[in-house]
Amino acid sequence: MPLVKSWVSSANSADHPFPLNNLPYGVFSTESTEPRCGVAIGDMIFDVTAAEVDGLIALSDEPLFDLPFWNPLMEEGPAVWAALRDRLIALLAEGSDAQHKIEGLLIPQDEAEMHMPFAVSEYTDFYAGRHHAQNVGTMFRGAENALPPNWLHIPIGYNGRASSVVVSGTDIRRPWGQLKSPDQDLPAFLPCRRFDIELEMGAIVGTPSDGPISVQQADDNIFGYVLLNDWSARDIQAWEYQPLGPFQAKATATSISPWIVTKAALEPFRCDTPDREFALLDHLKDCGPMLYDIDLAVTMAPEGKDATTIARTNYREMYYSAAQQLAHHSTSGCPMNTGDLLGSGTISGPTKPERGSLLELSWGGKEPLTLDTGETRSFIEDGDTLTLTGAAKGDGYSIGFGDCTGTVLPALSDPYAR
């Protein structure tokens, strides 16, 4: 499918992240408006909350856009998701007779502040990228034992903390935590010294389920995708994670991109999961291409300095799709709800510059990176800004998510001084 032209002219360039083919969903405010629902088109945001009030969008007897998050639309299910997309295309496509009604509802993106696009019900993070699992496993257990025995049979995941999910642009305060230095016998309570990123995609559950669901049903239930940075305190994690997994190491913050890219927009970019050493059990088997060809990158910018691209990879490097993760998540009968967020797990490619975490890029701190500024980094330093970007490249157009960025602030001098 080629670029579909919009009367919003900035949407029609081949490398713009928000052409008419995309139409991602966000929540924005301006100096004069409270947070409300909007759709990115070119350099503008279409105020769909106002459009619904004006009767330009009417999908339900009840308003769907009167709250500052997209969950009410998500709850409506795939038929209404498709109806909204059709309506938005009709309104915004070149030649639309609604142009004069809509021009007053377009807000320049550079005048808007972005907010969380949806209310996160619960957050689950997976560990389903093979190169990442192989790298981390090799560092901790040696190459022979890198992958745990279950890894090739189920998408390993753990429940994260929904309350810690924040929108791109939110500053991230370096956490304190209990950790044990290698040269000490006993742990201490200290600011994290090995603070890291994890380059991930997040899948958002739209349609709830209440019992085991198939991979196809899981794919049907997914509403859309965001970029996701699972900030990780490696030294806190090393001390706490046995035997019940990561806990406070992952609870400081998880940043997501401001725009939810819908499954419909990503449809042309579907691709297969990789070949498998062991066939998956029937309930997890692929039933079609359920990964997406999305180029991903990470940049790091020391305070006041230019950014260096430190990693480039692609979402198709995942071993398990989000649909397989959601299907596995439901096997026990676990109820899954609208607004549940599933992190893919860190996405790394096979070569060193494709690694999606500093832990891997600096090989546990043993091989520090050199930035374009000449500085070196093993882990994040105070003032560093880390930014994830993603784009699916179509025939003369791109599908983007907006940056997923965050600046790391110094740890509090005394976290209990209040």
d(CA 405, CA 389): 9
The amino acid at residue 106 is L
- Which lies closer to a copy of itself via its Cβ, residue 14 or residue 143? 143
Strands 376-377 vs 165-167: parallel, antiparallel or unpaired: unpaired
Q: Minimum Å distance from CB 279 to a copy of itself?
A: 9
Q: By CB under 8 A, what part of segment 392-411 binds a copy of itself?
A: none
Q: Minimum Å distance from CB 10 to a copy of itself?
A: 37
Other Cβ atoms less than 10 A from the Cβ of 97: the count is 8
User: CB within 8 A of 307, min separation 6: which ones?
Assistant: 299, 300, 301, 385, 387
Please identify which residue in 2, 95, 304, 333 interacts with a copy of itself, judged by CB under 8 A: 333
- Which lies closer to a copy of itself via its Cβ, residue 36 or residue 130? 130
Q: Does 391 bind a copy of itself (CB under 8 A)?
A: no
Is 237 annotated to bind a ligand? Reply is yes
Which of 290, 277, 179 lies closest to 233 in space, CA to CA?
A: 179
Q: Does 343 bind a copy of itself (CB under 8 A)?
A: no
132 tagged catalytic: yes
Give the CA diameter of the chain: 73
Please identify which residue in 243, 304, 374, 413 interacts with a copy of itself, judged by CB under 8 A: 243
Radius of gyration of the chain (CA): 21
Active-site position among 131, 132, 328, 329: 132
Q: Does 90 bind a copy of itself (CB under 8 A)?
A: no
What is each CA distance from 368 to 131, 287, 307, 391, in whole angstroms? 20, 42, 17, 28
Is 198 annotated to bind a ligand? Reply is yes
Which of 318, 380, 62 lies closest to 194 in space, CA to CA?
A: 380
Which stretch in 42-50, 71-79, 246-254, 360-368 sits in contact with a copy of itself by CB under 8 A?
246-254
CB–CB of 210/335 below 8 Å?
Answer: yes
Please identify which residue in 129, 246, 349, 394 interacts with a copy of itself, judged by CB under 8 A: 246
Q: Does 173 bind a copy of itself (CB under 8 A)?
A: yes
Is 125 annotated to bind a ligand? Reply is yes
Q: Minimum Å distance from CB 318 to a copy of itself?
A: 16
Is 254 annotated to bind a ligand? Reply is yes
The amino acid at residue 9 is S
Q: Minimum Å distance from CB 120 to a copy of itself?
A: 10
Strands 123-126 vs 341-343: parallel, antiparallel or unpaired: parallel
3-class DSSP assignment, residue 293: coil
Which stretch in 29-37, 98-106, 334-342, 356-364 sits in contact with a copy of itself by CB under 8 A?
334-342
- Which lies closer to a copy of itself via its Cβ, residue 243 or residue 304? 243
Q: By CB under 8 A, what part of segment 138-167 binds a copy of itself?
A: 148-150, 153-154, 156-164
Could you tell me where the beta strands, DSSP code E, fall in 164-294? Answer: 165-167, 172-173, 176-179, 188-191, 195-196, 199-205, 222-230, 232-233, 254-256, 261-262, 270-271, 291-292
Known binding-site positions? 125, 127, 141, 198, 200, 230, 237, 241, 250, 254, 346
Residues involved in catalysis? 132
Q: Using CB under 8 A as the criterion, which residues of the chain lie in contact with a copy of itself when the complex forms? A: 121-122, 127, 148-150, 153-154, 156-164, 173, 175-178, 180, 186-189, 211-212, 214, 233, 236, 239-249, 251-253, 278, 281-283, 328-329, 331-337, 340, 412, 415-416, 418
